[in-house]
Amino acid sequence: MPDFLRRSELLELVARCELLADDLDANRVAPEALLAEVSRLRACFDVLHQLEEREPRLPPPHRAVRREPRAHVASTITDELRATLDRLREHLFAET
């Protein structure tokens, strides 16, 4: 994994999104704050997935599974977002 996409940094982004979701649920932040962080997370996973798509050592089914987490990040409902963040975290841990 490239230095600019360290797993630990992606996990930190996931955790930050969860904290912002908590703050949004408690009316402590505007939705735009969470949206900005989720957009940043999506952009990071997009880059990661593009790099992984070019790796010949990954079998095609593995590459297809990598697309699945990104598809779920589109929701603005925090419950669905939390489930998505859990899947992204599991995705990151599965690669260790």
- The answer to pTM > 0.75 is no
Structural tokens at position 66:
């990598």
Dihedral sign for Cα atoms in the order 32, 37, 42, 47: positive
Per residue in 52-87, pLDDT (tens digit) is 777 655 554 444 444 455 445 444 568 888 888 999
Per residue in 12-47, pLDDT (tens digit) is 999 999 999 999 999 999 999 999 999 999 998 888
Q: How far apart are CA 57 and CA 72, in angstroms?
A: 26
